[in-house]
Amino acid sequence: MSSTQHDTRPILKHPLNVRVFHYILLLTFLPLAATGLLLFFKPLSQNAMQLTYDIHMIAGVGLTLNAVLFTLLAFDRVVLFIARVFSFSERDVKWFMVLGGYPQKFLLGKTVPIPPMNKYNSGQKLFGACVLIGGALLIVSGFVLWLIPHAAPRDMVWGLGQIHLVAGLVLTAFLPIHLFLAVYRFDDFKAMMLHGKVPYHDAAQYTPLWVEKEIVAVKQQPAEAAKN
Amino acid sequence: MMDKKPLFEEDKFFLSRRKFMAIGAAFVATLALPVAWFSNKLARRNDYIKARSAGLYQDDMIAKQRVSHANSAVEKYYAEFGGEPLGHKSHDLLHTHFVDRTKLKS
């Protein structure tokens, strides 16, 4: 039994600006994915398709503003995120060899050893890289397709349309997996959706390298220190 | 328990300043370069039309006959057969009628 099993001391995992960004991303990407699929398959009447189109544009502008403002106002978080999701080591290969132990756990009820992970596990890193690259491609291609499809070179518009389609489908395909695993890791889910904090035992179990290398005690303010 | 203030947080300096700046610069460059390339493509999208137009003007400058009504074949047509420009016979022979062949999908 680990000595950290019942350690409930809170670690701040997701700061407020990240949570706000994630909430707006959630509220804009879900309608974008739904309306994107509708725009692709065109199952509705002319008026309903027009409404779908309008919702897609509005949500797209919202997502873009969110991404741009977060990049400008929290550039350090963006850089740290990039540093984390594009780091690669032998541990990631070993993690993917057992797929994080999830299939064994869900399908066979077995627990297999998995290599120690940093703040994000290898699957989350892959997802993060796809969101970063795919999101940037979706934003750029979306704006060209929306605003200047007749001014941009014809072949480029066609290419951007294909990129928009593939990137949108890939990220939409990730969505159910992300939602399922997010709820499965319930302490992390509550941290992202509510208060930002995970208990020490959860962090030590799933993200031991993060706890070991990057976590420090919060410095007390002078007034608080005087009280204690 | 999560009403409490956090006792631990990420070390803000776990990434060296050099690495932070390198990643930040790479990120900005990755975003800026395609935008610059695309802006260039957009600005030069009509270059081939402008080149074609300039070529036509150049051809026009060195042409012996620069206006259609000075064309000797046209002059001969009106003198020997068509009568006067915009005349009845020329109208019947040379003018066409508009037919709307547009096929709208919806």
At B96, which amino acid appears? Answer: T
Rounded mean pLDDT, B16-40: 92
Mean pLDDT of chain A: 91
Q: Indicate the pTM of the whole model.
A: 0.78
pLDDT-based confidence at residue A16 (cuts at 50, 70, 90) = very high
List chain B domain ranges: 22-63, 65-97
Q: Structure tokens of A136?
A: 């940037």
Residue among A174, A148, A175, A144 nearest A161 (CA) = A144
pLDDT-based confidence at residue B2 (cuts at 50, 70, 90) = low
Q: What pLDDT shows up at residue A3?
A: 55
The pLDDT of residue B18 is above 70? yes
Chain B residues 34-63 with CB within 8 Å of chain A: 34-35, 38, 41-42, 45
Closest CA of chain A from B36, distance in Å: 13
Q: What is the share, in percent, of chain A residues with pLDDT greater than 70?
A: 94
Residue among A180, A202, A28, A61 nearest A119 (CA) = A202
**Which CATH architecture best describes the domain A10-227?**
Up-down Bundle (1.20)
Q: What pLDDT shows up at residue A220?
A: 72
Q: What pLDDT shows up at residue A25?
A: 96
Rounded mean pLDDT, A13-26: 95
Rounded mean pLDDT, B27-41: 91
pLDDT tens-place string over residues A87-143: 999 999 999 999 999 999 989 988 899 999 999 999 999 999 999 999 999 999 999
Q: Is the ipTM of this complex over 0.90?
A: no
Mean pLDDT of chain B: 87
Evaluate the CA torsion angle A192, A210, A198, A113 in order and state its sign. positive
Residue among A88, A83, A123, A87 nearest B27 (CA) = A83
**Cβ-defined contact of A79 to B24 (cutoff 8 Å):** yes
Q: What pLDDT shows up at residue A78?
A: 95
Chain A residues 93-152 with CB within 8 Å of chain B: 119, 136, 140, 144, 148, 151-152
pLDDT tens-place string over residues B36-49: 998 898 888 889 99
pLDDT-based confidence at residue A1 (cuts at 50, 70, 90) = very low
Q: What pLDDT shows up at residue A227?
A: 63
Q: What pLDDT shows up at residue B70?
A: 86
Q: What pLDDT shows up at residue A151?
A: 87
Residue B84 touches chain A, beta carbons under 8 Å: no
Q: What pLDDT shows up at residue A222?
A: 65
Q: What pLDDT shows up at residue A120?
A: 93
Closest CA of chain A from B28, distance in Å: 10
Phi first, then psi, for residue A142 (nearest 5°) are -60, -45
Closest CA of chain A from B83, distance in Å: 46
Phi first, then psi, for residue A15 (nearest 5°) are -60, 165
Chain A residues 51-80 with CB within 8 Å of chain B: 75-76, 78-80
DSSP B58-71: HHHHH-S--SGGG-
pLDDT tens-place string over residues B50-99: 999 999 999 999 988 888 888 899 999 999 998 888 899 999 888 888 88
The pLDDT of residue A145 is above 80? yes
pLDDT tens-place string over residues A189-213: 999 999 999 999 999 989 999 999 8
What is the side-by-side strand order in the sheet with A197-199? A197-199, A10-12, B8-10, A215-217
Q: What pLDDT shows up at residue A7?
A: 85
**Which ranges constitute the DSSP H helices of chain A?**
16-41, 46-73, 75-85, 90-97, 102-103, 122-147, 154-184, 186-190, 200-206, 208-214, 222-227
Q: What pLDDT shows up at residue A5?
A: 65
Q: Structure tokens of A212?
A: 């070991």
Closest CA of chain A from B101, distance in Å: 24
